[in-house]
Structure 1
Amino acid sequence: MSAGAAVVEEADVLVIGGGLHGTSSAFNIARRGVNVIVLEADYVARHSSGVNAGGVRTLGRPLPEIPLALMSREIWHTLPDVVGDGGGFVPSGQLKIAETEAELDECRERAALLEAHGFTHEKVIDRETVLELEPALAKHVTGGIWVERDGYALPFRTTTAFRLAAERQGVRFHEGTPVTRIEQRGERWYAYTPRGLFAAEKLLVAAGAWSGELARQAGEPVPVHPEGLMLMVTHRVAPFCRATLGATGRPLSFKQFDNGTVVIGGKLIGIADLQGRHGEVDFMRLARSARTVVDLFPHLKHLGINRAWAGVEAFTDDSLPVISPSRTASNLYYSFGYCGSGFQLGPGCGWLVSQMMLDGTTSLPLDAFAIDRFAKSPTEAAAASVAVHH
């Protein structure tokens, strides 16, 4: 498509990406009276936003993320009032299990570190309390960390709820509309797609694992790579687990739904095909995760697996997301790279992104998530400032 191609549709803000962060941002921007278009390459919630483990987790967050996670959790607890649907949120509590005394010491050190920074939401509990919470756990556990107000939700339902709420605010969604190029000309941003050219004054890149290429086009290369995060769901079994579980010493995300099925994950890395836009399952790694589950719940030894899948997610080199205005161009913003932990942050970050884009300031600091943090020297920083407007 030539630079002089006719514009198909215009708005005040273009959002690239129809995942939870894109839909939440679009909703929060639009409810302030702003005209918004969302461009989604596949369909809304197609990738990590619709197929993740659904953890609504403040537990175990990196320190810079904790204020965002705590703020976002308050929105989760009032989500029906915000978007008209609770997203299937269940405040089950989250429990991170220690299986050795050394792991329990790690839990104590973690809680002490958080307390030194003013955070008291993670509580160390002993073996007896763990087994009171979850009597079916193997008796070798030594304790853990408990966060009472955490829980889980249904990813596809949640993202769809934000999409519908955004549409009620007038947001227009174009699915099957991949953005191949972005360009700023004068005061307008243009997004090139096979369906035509879209234009707006402001542009948000929230395209998950595909955001890195768009940032590169804007002269802001980010060390980001895709991963295919895997999950599996079991046959139904009688209720035995109320909390959402993790483990201190090995990867685990574990929850039982009301229908009896168990969803098992824990940042299990499969195969990500960025070009083909899908993830693939690595069954050897899934088998190791299944062994972890049997170690903790021996009575599940013969429980069958219904299905397994992988969703494509973006990971940054420092394991923190990019939530930032551009440093090379005006009216360009980013929200991506949530490293497999972005679902819980979606409602809160959408609100912060709306502040960042419309007010130029945010109610919580976002310095740790600035896109230029990856520039390692003044020379590299200068190289990253290549203009994208003509």
Structure 2
Amino acid sequence: MSGQQYDLAVIGGGIQGAGIALFAQRAGLKVVLLERDALARGASGVNAGTLTMQMTRAALIPYALKAHEMWLKAPQWLGHDVGVVACDGLSLAFTEAEEQLLEERGTARRAAGAPINLISASEALKIEPGINPDIRMASHCSIDGYANAYLTGLAYHRALTGSGVDLREYTPVSGVEPAGSGYDLRVPDGIIHARQVALTGGVWIEPMLAWLGLHVPIKTLVNQLAVTERAAPLMRTVVGIASGLLSLKQYPHGTVVIGGGWQGEGSREQNCHRSTHASTVGNARLATHAIPALRHSRIVRIWTGFEAETADALPAIGPVPGFPGLWVCGSAHSGYTSAPYMARCLTQAILGEEPEMPLFPIDRLLARPDAAPRYKEQDCQ
């Protein structure tokens, strides 16, 4: 055992891992945060930064509502601005089937506490004049919005270093094993010992748990996004469609980010991902159908990034069965919205407190050690 000893080691520097490290350090623990790349430059850095109730599963709405409040107050608890814009959100229906989707999902999310209401086409056009007038109806949420993912990464970096967290970027962990009253972590320059460990590696949670002989299948999504050149104001809301395959927002400086879960190609094992022509064209067509004025804009950049998803599409947040002091946090659908609050809840458990809201233990996800992988990935060859 080396002299590097901590109360808590967090493996994975996305905004969930960064949040856990920050909250735990401020609570008095000695914390090290280990990230294989730069902080918040994986899934937390390449996503669109959408803060939405419209795309959040009903079971996660209570967490998203709490997190939305945290995002709006980021300068107070994080200490830095993250470029949050609070605005209305619209999800559009162009067909009868999409109307039914909005009604079903709106009812479920409204029952969970989200301020989502179904509105007519004319009402939607008053809120967002730039949308396609051919819509049949829309669902409206008054508390959607977005953050700037790049600024968020910078803010967490400053907050972590300012609070005294031992932040180690470009430091991959190759294994974790029980040792004494805690765990030994293998890093390039030796061994780090920590009383408790939080695995917050996104799509890499599956191989992390495999270090300990546990199999939790994690699906690797390769989400594709695009951004346009700067344009005159085209929209003032977050716009999606009932199918969920579109997310549009225009930043204050004029660029429009186009997302919605269109898939690129990639492999977790090879740590590579790339865009596809088919997804680029499909996403752009849907975007210009929703906001016709976008047809006059040019796309200047396309990129991809990994997103993790469990078998039941609910998060993996809680203790690791059979390993006292070992925790996992990640794989939340539309996880960017809920991340700060979920990190706070898990930190409460790490500190021995009762979390403000229930966690999502992984017992339900454990598979047999000899089970075949549930998901197949496409490589980048």
TM-score normalised by the chain length of structure 1: 0.90
Q: 2:27 aligns with which of 4, 27, 32?
A: 32
**How far apart, in 1, do the equivalents of 2:163 and 2:353 lie?**
22
Match of 2:16 among 11, 21, 25: 21
Secondary structure of 2:123's aligned partner: helix
Deviation, structure 1 residue 111: 2.8
Cross-structure match for 1:78: 73
Is the Cα–Cα contact under 8 Å of residues 83 and 148 in structure 2 kept in the other structure? yes
Instruction: State the distance in 1 between where 2:139 and 2:43 align.
Output: 27
CA separation in 1, counterparts of 2:321 and 2:328?
11
Which of 69, 76, 88 is residue 93 of structure 1 equivalent to? 88
Q: Please state how far the C-alpha of 1:71 moved relative to its aligned partner.
A: 1.0
Counterparts of residues 56-205 of structure 1 (less than 5 Å): 56-115=51-110, 117-205=111-199
Percent of aligned positions that are identical: 32
Of 325, 329, 350, 1:331 maps to 325
Aligned to 2:365: 374
Return the letter of the residue paired with 1:86: D
- Specify the SS of the correspondent of 2:336: coil
1:45 aligns to 2:40 (yes or no): yes
Matching residue within 341, 344, 354 for 1:348: 341
User: Given that residues 231 and 310 in structure 1 are in contact (C-alpha distance below 8 angstroms), is that contact kept between their aligned partners in structure 2?
Assistant: yes
- Comparing 316-325 and 298-307, the one that deviates more: 298-307
* 1:151/1:158 CA distance change after superposition, 3 Å: same
Q: Which runs of 5+ in 1 are unaligned?
A: 1-5, 384-390
DSSP-derived class of the 2:289 partner: helix
Of residues 301, 315, 322, the one that matches 2:316 is 322
Letter of the structure 2 residue corresponding to residue 162 of structure 1: Y
Separation (CA, whole Å) in 1 of partners of 2:3 and 2:94: 58
Is contact 1:58–1:73 with CA below 8 Å preserved after alignment? no
Letter in 1 for 2:364: R
- d(CA) in 2 for partners of 1:250 and 1:363? 30
Deviation, 1:240, is: 1.4
Give the Cα separation in 2 of the matches to 1:298 and 1:260: 16
Q: Secondary structure at the match of 2:223?
A: strand
Q: 1:252 to 1:194 in 2, by over 3 A?
A: same
Does residue 210 in structure 1 map to residue 201 in structure 2?
no
Q: Structure 1 pair 316/289, CA: closer, same or farther in 2 (3 Å)?
A: same
Q: Per-residue deviation at 1:133?
A: 1.2
Instruction: Give the Cα–Cα distance (whole angstroms) in 1 for the partners of residues 335 and 244 of structure 2.
Output: 20
Secondary structure, in 3 states, of the residue corresponding to 1:179? coil
Mean Cα deviation higher: 47-56 or 84-93: 84-93
Preserved CA contact (<8 Å) 2:59 2:112: no
**Residue 93 of structure 2 aligns to which amino acid in structure 1?**
A
Instruction: Give the unaligned 5+ runs of structure 2.
Output: 372-381
Tell me, yes or no, if the aligned pair for 1:177 and 1:195 is still in contact at 8 Å: no
Distance 1:151 1:317 in 2: 28
1:228/1:272 contact within 8 Å kept: yes
Q: Indicate yes or no: 2:255 matched with 1:261.
A: yes
AA matched with 1:349: M
Counterparts of 1:283 and 1:196, CA distance in 2: 44
- The one-letter code of the counterpart of 1:33 is G
Which residue is equivalent to 1:247?
241
Q: Which SS does the other structure have where 1:311 is aligned? A: strand
Contact 1:325 1:371 in 2 (8 A): yes
Structure 1 range deviating more: 139-148 or 322-331 = 139-148
Whole-Å separation in 2 of the counterparts to 1:32 and 1:348: 16
- SS of structure 2 residue aligned to 1:92: strand
Q: How many residues align?
A: 371
Please identify, of 225-234 and 20-29, the stretch whose mean Cα deviation from structure 2 is larger.
225-234
Superposition RMSD in Å: 1.9
- Aligned-partner residue type, residue 104 of structure 1: E
Deviation at 1:120, TM superposition (A): 4.5
Q: Which letter does structure 2 place at the counterpart of 1:67? A: P
Cα deviation for residue 59 of structure 1 reads 2.1
Tell me the alpha carbon deviations over residues 305-358 of structure 1, each in whole angstroms, 9 at most, x when there is no partner: 11111112212111111001111211000002124x111112111111110111
The aligned residue for residue 386 of structure 1 is none
In structure 1, the residue matched to 2:379 is: none
Q: Residues of 2 paired with 1:66 and 1:347: CA distance?
A: 14
Structure-1 residue corresponding to 2:356: 363
Letter in 1 for 2:174: T
Change beyond 3 A, Cα 1:316–1:125: same
Matched, 1:274 2:272: no
What CA distance in whole angstroms lies between the structure 2 residues aligned with 1:360 and 1:180? 30
Q: Deviations over 1:43-84 (max 9, x none)?
A: 101211011010011223222211111111111121111112
3-state SS in 1 of match to 2:227: strand
The AA in structure 1 aligned to 2:268 is: L
Q: Which residue, 228, 231, 243 being the options, matches 1:237?
A: 231
